[in-house]
Amino acid sequence: MIGCGFAGLAAAKHLARQPVEVTLIDHHNFHTFQPLLYQVATAGLDPSDVAYPVRTIFRHDPNVVFRHGRATAVDLDRRRITLADDATIDYDHLIVGTGAAAGFLGITGAAEHARPLYTLGDARRLRNAVLGALEAADAHPENFDGGAPTFVVVGGGATGVETAGALMELLDVSIRQDRLRIDPRRSRVVLLDAGDRLLAGFTDTLGRYAAETLRSRGVIVRLNEPVQEVTATGVRLADGEWIAAAAVVWAGGVTVGPTLAGTLAADHGRGGRVVVEDDLSLSGHPEVYVVGDAAAVPRAPGGDPCPQLAQVAIQSGGHAARQILRRRAGRPTEPFRYKDKGMMAAIGRRAAVTELPRGFVLRGSLGWLAWLGLHIVYLIGFRNRLIVLVDWWWRYVNWPGGPRLIDADVDSD
Amino acid sequence: MIGCGFAGLAAAKHLARQPVEVTLIDHHNFHTFQPLLYQVATAGLDPSDVAYPVRTIFRHDPNVVFRHGRATAVDLDRRRITLADDATIDYDHLIVGTGAAAGFLGITGAAEHARPLYTLGDARRLRNAVLGALEAADAHPENFDGGAPTFVVVGGGATGVETAGALMELLDVSIRQDRLRIDPRRSRVVLLDAGDRLLAGFTDTLGRYAAETLRSRGVIVRLNEPVQEVTATGVRLADGEWIAAAAVVWAGGVTVGPTLAGTLAADHGRGGRVVVEDDLSLSGHPEVYVVGDAAAVPRAPGGDPCPQLAQVAIQSGGHAARQILRRRAGRPTEPFRYKDKGMMAAIGRRAAVTELPRGFVLRGSLGWLAWLGLHIVYLIGFRNRLIVLVDWWWRYVNWPGGPRLIDADVDSD
């Protein structure tokens, strides 16, 4: 099993204590709770709050073995995985859940200068960039347009909305509590989307609510604004307008292209996602499953692909594991059917949107409480859950408690 | 005031809400609780548990301003500090508390290959190296002498004893709970000291107790073993013996040499420490104080220098601040007198040594409880204190909960 994201983890959990030998391969020794990376990037949570060692997760499951290393190739015919250290691992069944990578849609300079938010390293780097820009503006306001840094977020999906909202709150804390010498009327967070609404996956009402709430909190929301170019100092819009920015956050989508799954000898669909059969196996290789963000997981047999969400990863990973057990038991595999449990996005303190199946929606404080509860329940491991709760509670009653550490300079001290 | 370590922080706390303008300069935006860095390095605590943003510490003190930046030079005659970004800051009074840096005693290869433990970055790098070596041994035992990694700690003072004890515990957790495929009888922690005892600053009895306790827990304690050379793969002792090591921890002492204080136009004593007057001011510059690890702080007027300890830094920083207030009030300065409040070193779970003034000592479980209580009381900030407590409690009842994240690869993902 390659990849310890939501999909790989769900699959391994299903296979734990079953009569199979499971080898989990990942080049990180931890699982990352990706939906909260934006809080790490905006100094609300600490990296270790959203990361959990894989060995710890499976410490009571003797048939699950972890192998730290980067899988570089899969030979489907020989059923053999090659790792970066040239070691090889043979398999009977394989589940590939290697996720995706930021997809920059061919926008000039985006790959070099925009900052994605898909890995823990992304989040740490963004945090260092944001906090570093705030300190730089405090020391040298003359270097900033208008005396204050502007942060641009590209992409108005859940990640973009959550990041923009959290950046605005961070600016507020920094200026009020940390007494940074930045003019609050001049510090800006700009959220850009090429489409005509936010939260395209949610209902229209919730998209409008998100835009209104963000605007009421000071975020500049600009719709129908495709980005033409990203540089080290800002973004240029399609109509030629230039926005100087201390950091450009990339929330504009992902692609499977550069990952291991992207190199699999298989058909690839939109965004490089691996095309799979209805049971999530590879065509011609019923012993190989591709799941999570890496695959074009069909919503139902023959249906459209699901969006790349944590829920889809968890359900598809579990499905693949069950099919392996069925095959071993000599039974036919079953097609995958996505059970929509709803979607959520937090806009900030006491404001979130929750959309449940059958059109039931929550927003505002109630949506936020639902968001909080669900994320805490899903966070892996009691220790992390408790500490995140303490962090959040403390941050709620007393904002300045966040881990606002600039550790970019740890490499040079 | 340059430096936000124990000395600078104590000084700034004394000057907060006094009729003076205080500018705190540091190239880290956080204070580091150095006595617990060894726990970060051995994955017991998270980096943010021992680091606290300076702006948060002084958020209620409007006369204390933080400036993020590296001070590169002090012009004592012009009373002007130059920063790395070429900005300058003029002062009426100056307190220099820039600490020290690892001092490698001229040992060949030590500066390049031994891993010091003085900054948060040091601790993170050591953690990544140690956890990385354990994973590498799991994947490729054939690459390690005896099939398991050896960790060497150079220097048997408090840092060396604490690090060796904690490394041994980490090995135990990794092998038992994480099911690393390492032969526990072959994995080794070696503690080397050139002298004939451990914990040279403590009484003989406690030094012997530390050695016995470490040995009973599996650490190989070797005294009278000066190190001749450190390489990327191990250490060579003075008698020619070679010890292969996956990581060499440097706990062999510090020097002021490469720091800002080391470049001050002043007399420098042993280890580059700045020679100061009895009131801790610079000779000829009564408006400049040097405190903490950076200075040869006299124990009493005309006395020997104090050891480089957190207590000395805290007391000398506070003293310098009080003298500035006295001078502003037109009163003469007072000489510094160190109040020995005792010393502590933790050997591991339920074993620590505490030496109080007048020869009163604690060891074993009682010493450990004293150590735990004191460290929690001294940890800055309620949030950190609470979280460290949760961390520790959890680690005590359920070891595998530590933040064993290898984040070296965050730069490349």
Q: How many CA atoms lie within 13 A of B156 on its CB side?
A: 29
Which one of the listed residues A112, A162, A169, A212 is annotated catalytic? A162
Query: Within a domain: residue B243?
Result: yes
State mean pLDDT over B266-278: 96
Q: How are beta strands A247-250 and A150-154 bridged, if at all?
A: parallel
Q: Which of A86-100, A349-363, B73-87, B109-123 has the lowest mean pLDDT?
A: A349-363
Query: Within a domain: residue A391?
Result: no
- Kindly state whether residues A111 and A229 are assigned to the same domain: yes
What distance in Å separates the CA atoms of residue A324 and residue A278, rounded to the nearest whole number?
Answer: 14
Residue A234: CATH number of its domain: 3.50.50.100
| Residue that wins the pLDDT comparison between B307 and A48 | B307
pLDDT band at A412 (very low <50, low <70, confident <90, very high): very low
- Kindly state whether residues A226 and A269 are assigned to the same domain: no
CB contacts of A99 in chain B (<8 Å) are: none
State mean pLDDT over A160-174: 92
- Kindly state whether residues B207 and B70 are assigned to the same domain: no
- Kindly state whether residues A284 and A161 are assigned to the same domain: no
Mean pLDDT of chain B: 90
CB B166 within 8 A of CB B191: no
pLDDT band at B411 (very low <50, low <70, confident <90, very high): very low
- Kindly state whether residues A165 and A273 are assigned to the same domain: no
Q: What is the 3-state secondary structure (H, E, C) of B248-264?
A: EEECCCEECCCCCHHHC
Give the residue from B23, B28, B29, B66 with the most A CB atoms within 10 Å of its CB, the best one to mutate: B29
Residue B322: CATH number of its domain: 3.50.50.60
Torsion angle of C-alpha atoms B157, B161, B167, B173, degrees rounded to 10: -160
CB B324 within 8 A of CB B15: yes
Q: What is the pLDDT of residue B409?
A: 44
- Kindly state whether residues B60 and B151 are assigned to the same domain: no
Query: Within a domain: residue B30?
Result: yes
- Kindly state whether residues B265 and B148 are assigned to the same domain: no
Residue B410 to residue A121, Cβ atoms within 8 A: yes
Give the residue from B68, B89, B177 with the most A CB atoms within 10 Å of its CB, the best one to mutate: B68
Query: Within a domain: residue B398?
Result: no
CB B114 within 8 A of CB B192: no
Q: Is the pLDDT of residue A378 over 80?
A: no
- N-to-C CA span, chain A: 38
| Residue that wins the pLDDT comparison between A21 and A390 | A21
Q: What is the pLDDT of residue A403?
A: 63
Per-state percent for chain A, helix, strand, coil, to nearest 5: 40, 25, 40
Size of interface A-B (CB pairs under 8 A): 158
Q: What is the pLDDT of residue B407?
A: 66
Residue B277 annotated to the active site = no
Contacts of B373 (CB under 8 A, 6+ apart): none
What distance in Å separates the CA atoms of residue B168 and residue B187, rounded to the nearest whole number?
Answer: 9
CB B299 within 8 A of CB B311: no
The per-residue pLDDT for range A255-311, each reduced to its tens digit, is: 998 899 999 999 999 999 999 999 999 999 999 999 999 999 999 999 999 999 999
Q: Give me A127's structure tokens.
A: 């945090």
Contacts of B10 (CB under 8 A, 6+ apart): B313, B314, B315, B317, B318, B321
Q: Is the pLDDT of residue B284 over 50?
A: yes
Note down the domain range covering B247: 104-252
- Kindly state whether residues B70 and B176 are assigned to the same domain: no
Mean pLDDT of chain A: 90
State mean pLDDT over B248-277: 94
| Residue that wins the pLDDT comparison between A361 and B174 | A361
DSSP state for residue A8 in the 8-state scheme: H
Q: What is the pLDDT of residue A380?
A: 61
Q: Which of A48, A391, A398 sits opposite B403 (nearest CB)?
A: A48
State mean pLDDT over B337-348: 91
Burial group, residue A335, by CB count within 10 angstroms (0-12, 13-18, 19+)? middle
For residue A296, which of A160, A119, A33, A100 has the smallest C-alpha distance?
A: A100
- Kindly state whether residues A69 and A112 are assigned to the same domain: no
State mean pLDDT over B366-392: 73
Residue B193 CA: distances (Å) to CA of A169, A413, B254? 51, 27, 15
Select from B252, B278, B295 the last residue of a domain.
B252
Instruction: Quote the strand ranges of A163-272, DSSP E.
Output: 188-192, 220-222, 227-231, 234-237, 242-244, 247-250, 254-255
Query: Within a domain: residue A404?
Result: no
State mean pLDDT over B59-85: 96
pLDDT band at A402 (very low <50, low <70, confident <90, very high): low
Query: Within a domain: residue B394?
Result: no
For residue B407, which of A125, A259, A1, A247 has the smallest C-alpha distance?
A: A125
DSSP state for residue B83 in the 8-state scheme: E
Which one of the listed residues B112, B162, B169, B229 is annotated catalytic? B162
CB contacts of A68 in chain B (<8 Å) are: 135-136, 138-139, 406
What distance in Å separates the CA atoms of residue B413 and residue B410, rounded to the nearest whole number?
Answer: 5
Q: Which of A62, A87, A121 sits opposite B413 (nearest CB)?
A: A121
- Kindly state whether residues B108 and B238 are assigned to the same domain: yes
Query: Within a domain: residue B129?
Result: yes
DSSP state for residue B196 in the 8-state scheme: S
- Kindly state whether residues A118 and A242 are assigned to the same domain: yes
State mean pLDDT over A201-207: 92
Please list, residue by residue across A375-411, b when 16 or more beta carbons sit within 10 angstroms of its beta carbon and e when fewer do: beeebbbebbbbbbebbbebbeeebbbbbbbbbebbe
Select from A294, A328, A362 the last residue of a domain.
A328
Q: What is the pLDDT of residue B306?
A: 95
CB B316 within 8 A of CB B7: yes
- Kindly state whether residues A24 and A153 are assigned to the same domain: no
Contacts of B305 (CB under 8 A, 6+ apart): B269, B270, B273, B296, B297, B298, B299
Q: Which of B67, B121, B407 sits opposite A413 (nearest CB)?
A: B121
Query: Within a domain: residue A21?
Result: yes
CB contacts of B400 in chain A (<8 Å) are: 53, 55-56, 59
pLDDT band at A185 (very low <50, low <70, confident <90, very high): confident
Longest dimension (CA), chain A: 72
Number of domains composing chain B: 2
CB contacts of B178 in chain A (<8 Å) are: 53, 55-56, 59
Select from A328, A360, A384 the last residue of a domain.
A328
What distance in Å separates the CA atoms of residue A256 and residue B133, rounded to the nearest whole number?
Answer: 31
Residue B26 CA: distances (Å) to CA of A135, B1, B256, B400? 12, 9, 16, 35
Residue A391 to residue B391, Cβ atoms within 8 A: no
The per-residue pLDDT for range B198-237, each reduced to its tens digit, is: 999 899 999 999 999 999 999 999 999 999 999 999 999 9
What distance in Å separates the CA atoms of residue B358 and residue B340, rounded to the nearest whole number?
Answer: 10
Q: Is the pLDDT of residue B412 over 50?
A: no
